[in-house]
Chains A and B, each alone.
Chain A
Amino acid sequence: MNKQTTLIAFYTIVRKEISRFMRIWVQTLLPPAISMTLYFVIFGSLIGSRIGTMNGFSYIEYIAPGIIMMSIINNSYANVVSSFFGAKFQNHIEEMLVAPIPNFIILAGFITGGVARGILVGIVVTIVALFFTELNIHSFPITIAVVFMTSIVFSLAGLINAIYAKKFDDISIIPTFVLTPLIYLGGVFYSIDMLPETWQTVSSFNPILYMVNAFRYGMLGESDIDITNAFLMLVIFTTVLFTIALHLLNKGVGIKH
């Protein structure tokens, strides 16, 4: 395939991925809007008003970036894991496998779909957040970069999960037992400065802590961790997961006999 035909193939996968999650918007875009509204009502307005300030910000202002990042992480992951596993389960992944598409284009197409949903849901949740609090952007480039890189990392993770998944249970185990605890313990609702020193050290092994704090830094200019470390972490995760995912596709793991 030449450059133009490769781009057409890439564009086709992205278009298909976006139209898939837009077609089922009631399952993909509406639930995060509703659940995040509840987070803002309960933790932000009701409980938050009694908590007072956190690191100089009102509680609702402090948790807003974390809640937006939580929805981006969940939706990037969910989009790719369900779409790729669905394609495997219904065998229509074969439509791509028989075509002369390089594997990195298949990978890039699915990841772009995941990033698109993650960002769209992020925008929806940001709009919801604006009904409850004011949002300021401390640094646009950092905010945008963190959003993109985080959604790429979790889209890649979702794809690897889908490659190994053999049944529907396998695509819910990681989000339920790994992703959710890491998100909740990743400083979405609190500053790790509040934790005893041991738990601060334990938390430093949680990659989501870096992503949430980097995003919070982009919006509020406030972070529990060094922003450089966060970007370093994101670059390493993106590179490692991309390499693994491409290797698995090249080998045909889970998709070829």
Chain B
Amino acid sequence: MSALEIKNLNKTYPNKFVALKNVDLQVNSGDFFALLGPNGAGKSTTIGIICGLVNKSSGSVSIFGHDIDKENEAAKACIGIVPQEINFSQFETPLDIVVNQGGYYGIKRSTALQRAKKYLNKLGLIEKCHEPARNLSGGMKRRLMIARALVHEPKMLILDEPTAGVDVELRRSMWDFLIDINKQGVTIMLTTHYLEEAEKLCKNIAIIDQGSIIKNTSMKKLLSNLNKETFIIDLINPIETLPNLNGYTATLIDSSTMEVEVDREKNINDLFEIFSASNIKVCSMRNKSNRLEKLFLDLLDNNN
């Protein structure tokens, strides 16, 4: 079943800016879906329309089979939204914010209170639950918005750059939390600028640029399009010149670092055999850039 089905969606703002052009998108139930795109590509507009914060110009959006025009309330009940910008009252406490959100979805106060404590606890906010929200750090505020989005236990969670400005450790704990939620059956759709995040978490992906979807495929399929990878290799002993690497393209960045391009069909073991034969000792090896990042930039370049 489709969790989200967008057909021919268009949005032109009153200032005549065309934010979306004939967007078609489908997210399956249980998916972990990434919507990627540069700033101003139309990601937040798409999410805004899905959640009822932006009026669409034309097209249709269905959430678990509920059309947002015909069954608006049923559609809204299926979604939890974590927006990009902080959008809660800074004067209220996290507990009140989450419990009230439950109330807006028609959940009894006692149940909402129970769930609020459960999610605030899971997200490490329980000790701050009675403090004014303005006292929370940036990362805590983002986690508070996740707890708030989950209080009505939605079938689909939409996160608009949930880890923006969050430190590495916290980001990883949020990833684990989202993976866990997804395993419980919640469909997740996220936008992010951290492509490593999308690669690690998402099964399917759509790339949007200048209001149009330019790629919509599975993460696996997309990454399989990558026909070569560039590795940075740090050497234990410095070298002056590159040995013959038998078909591998390499450049020496400095006497202890080289950059090697490896075609997908080539075996990386062969490279190490050449190193051994040439008495080159490798200290460490890493990708020059995130694999998805390279593809993402290539796609945007082609689109432009």
Residues of A bordering B, CB below 8 Å: 1-2, 4-6, 8-9, 11-13, 15-16, 19, 23, 86-87, 90-92, 94-102, 252, 256-257
Docked-complex contact A257 and B103, CB < 8 angstroms: no
Contact with A along B26-59 (1 / 0, CB 8 A): 0000000000000000000100100111110000
Contact flag A100-B77 (CB < 8 Å), given A94-B83, A257-B53: yes
Among candidates B13, B45, B52, B100, residue contacting A97 with C-beta atoms closer than 8 Å? B52
Q: How far is the CA of A13 from the CA of B89 in the complex (A)?
A: 13
29 A-B interface contacts by CB (under 8 A): A1-B73, A5-B106, A8-B107, A8-B109, A9-B105, A13-B103, A13-B104, A15-B100, A87-B89, A90-B88, A90-B90, A91-B87, A92-B87, A94-B87, A95-B97, A95-B100, A95-B148, A96-B104, A97-B53, A98-B52, A98-B53, A98-B79, A99-B101, A100-B73, A101-B104, A256-B52, A256-B54, A257-B13, A257-B45
Interface size on B, residues (CB 8 A): 35
Chain A interface SS verdict (over half): helix
- Verify A91–B85 contact, CB threshold 8 A: yes
B177 within 8 A of A: no
Q: In the complex where A1-B73, A92-B89, A257-B13 touch, is A98 in contact with B103 (Cβ < 8 A)?
A: no
What residues of chain B lie closer than 8 Å to A252, measured between beta carbons?
55
For B53, B86, B100, B104, the residue with the greatest tally of chain A CB atoms inside 10 Å of its CB is B104
B51-80 to A contact mask, C-beta < 8 Å, 1/0: 111110000000000000000111011010
What residues of A have a CB within 8 angstroms of the CB of B13 in the complex? 257
Q: Is B81 interfacial (CB-CB < 8 Å)?
A: yes
Other-chain contact of A95, B77, B101, B108 (Cβ < 8 Å): B101
Determine the residue in chain A with the shortest Cβ distance to B54. Answer: A257
* Interchain Cβ contacts within 8 Å, total number: 88
CA A215 to CA B13, docked complex, whole Å:
47
> For residue A101, which residues in chain B have a CB less than 8 angstroms away from its CB?
104
- Contact B87 A6, beta carbon cutoff 8 Å: no
Q: List 11 additional contacts besides A15-B100, A100-B105, A256-B54; criterion CB under 8 Å.
A: A1-B73, A5-B106, A8-B107, A13-B103, A90-B90, A94-B83, A95-B148, A96-B104, A99-B76, A252-B55, A257-B48
B87 touches A9 (CB 8 A): no
State whether B53 touches A256 (Cβ < 8 A). Answer: yes
Interface string of B108-127 (1 = CB under 8 A from A): 11000000000000000000
Contact check, B106 vs A1: say whether CB atoms are below 8 A apart: yes
Instruction: Name the CB-closest residue of A to B71.
Output: A100
Expressed in whole angstroms, the Cα–Cα distance for A19 and B107 within the complex equals 19
**C-alpha gap A98/B45 in the complex (Å):** 14
Residues in B with CB closer than 8 Å to A2 are 106
